[in-house]
Amino acid sequence: MSIARKAIISTFWTSGLNYIAMAIGFGIGIFRDRLLMPNENGIYMFSLAVVDLIFNFAALSFNVLVIQAQDEKEDIYSTALWCTIFLSVFLVLASLGVGWGMSIRGTLEIKIEAFFVLVGFSILNLFATLFQANLEKELEYQKIAKINLLSMLAFPVVSFLLIVNGYGAWGMVLGYCSSYFVSFVGMVLFSHYPIGFVFNSNTAKWLFSKGSRFIMSRGLEVIFIRYGTFVTEKLLGTSMQGSFGRALKYWEMAPQTVAPAVVTVAFPTYSKLQHDPEKLSQAVSMVLFFLVRALLPFVLVFSVLPVSFLNIIGKQWFDAVPVLRILAVGALLSPMFENMKQLLYAKGKPESIVKVRIIQVIVFIPTMYFLVLQFGIKGAAIAIVINFALGVASVLMIVRREISARWVRGLVLPIAFAIFAAIPVLLFPLRDFGIGAFLQFLLEAFYLIGIFLFLEVVFEYRHIREYARFIRSILKTSPSDPAP
């Protein structure tokens, strides 16, 4: 089967099941969050943030290296497994030290307990991602998509059942852990990872040498993701931090929706095409074209209809209205950065991302602190968008030297259509029909997104047909035929 055919089919599988899981999870999450309190979510988010700081060392990314290795290293699978075991022991010891430090600092006992539970299941996830690497390398995404579907559904279902029964913050913690557990069991059963007991010292040196190049980049990413949690916790308290974190989680639906195409399928596809500039540019152009158009409905909803959206889950979350409105821009920038990052990783240039991240962190750390001090959680959202904009602008200058993608067609027109769609909705908003918060939101969202889709179809019909014909030609290609 050609690389293009396999990549497109993989994207359909992962994206399709991802949408189903997110839709079901969103529906269940609405009922859960109507019962969840901001301070309970704050406990969960704080514990998760501490775990992420420690698991920066997991950025050695043995699973990524197993995928990236085009010339098979001797005993790479068994050695990668042994290296993951060594890494897990180190992370356990580091977590014990951090937990002791948190107790001395006077951190709430429930936060420390939640931290240790999350550590245990995060270690389990290290092995799940390693087993998944074997399937990713061959672009076998039907199996991965099915496992991920169950994994994604586990969190909202388990957390809802526990919160309904009064478990509060523990409902969120154990729901998160259940997702990792389902992923681990699924990957163990279906990945057929070639487990062996041979430890090859030369291969281990290669894994640690290559993996160490990812640590700085991953560490900086953790700062960008979790630093706001610590700053809002310190300056504003657990409850406001919980409101900020819940808005951030709903905003993350946008990047998660396109994650299969942006990261999961893109990285191994770009890796296989890394020495063919023409096909690589074509692949990036297609991803960009559909990426922006898939994200802009989220941008429109979060920027224009945040009050209607938060009405669904309850007034206890209304502090997050300005956060969602500001983060709307980030819904477009974040996946764009991630996709270009995967391209540079596939080209074997993680150090380029490190340079960009260093620039970002120099700006981000003081900006986040002073903006939160000045504007509260709204300031935290502004700092995140500034960070994304700086990252995209910086990495774009690097990527343009590697490929020649169709940037104007991919970006300018759909953004213009989004602006034109927002104008009539803002000038002539729908009245409240008294049909309930959820149905009212859906009606307003269809009004807004419908205008955007109409403009897309009318003015971009030729280009949509062009890509549709290409995709159909790939899917009709016999698996034994050469790639077009």
Residue 484 domain-assigned?
A: no
Under DSSP, the state recorded for 429 is: P
Structure token digits, residue 18: 């991802």
From CA 249, how far away is CA 474, in angstroms rounded? 36
Q: Residue 383: what pLDDT?
A: 94
Does residue 481 lie in a domain region? no
Number of domains observed in the structure of the chain:
1
Domain extent at residue 34: 3-476
What pLDDT does 73 receive? 63
Q: Which residue has the tokens 């030729």?
A: 462
**Domain-embedded: residue 19:** yes
pLDDT score recorded for residue 58: 62
What confidence score (pLDDT) does residue 216 get? 65
Q: Assess if residue 482 is contained within a domain.
A: no
Q: Can you give the pLDDT at residue 436?
A: 85
Angle, to 10 degrees, between the axis of helix 277-304 and the axis of helix 306-313?
A: 70
Question: Cβ(30)–Cβ(249) under 8 Å?
Answer: no
Is 219 part of any domain? yes
Binning the chain into helix, strand and coil, the percentages to the nearest 5 are 85, 0, 15
Q: Are 245 and 42 in contact (CB under 8 A)?
A: yes
CA–CA gap between residue 381 and residue 240 (Å, rounded): 13
In a domain, 147, yes or no: yes
d(CA 231, CA 236): 8
CA distance 173 to 167: 10
DSSP 297-331: HHHHHHHH-HHHHHHHH-GGGGGGHHHHHHHTTHH
Q: What is the pLDDT of residues 348-388, one digit of tens each?
A: 777 788 788 888 889 999 999 999 999 999 999 999 999 98
Q: Report how far residue 207's alpha carbon sits from residue 86's, in angstroms, rounded to the nearest whole number.
A: 13
Q: Which residues of the chain have pLDDT under 70?
A: 1-18, 57-64, 67-74, 137-141, 211, 213-220, 258-268, 404-410, 467-468, 470-484
Q: What are the distances in angstroms from CA 217 to CA 52, 58, 247, 338?
A: 14, 12, 25, 12
Give domain status of residue 262, yes or no: yes
How far apart, in whole angstroms, are the C-alpha atoms of residue 469 and residue 120?
48
Contact 463, 409 (CB under 8 A): yes
Task: Indicate whether 483 belongs to any domain.
Answer: no
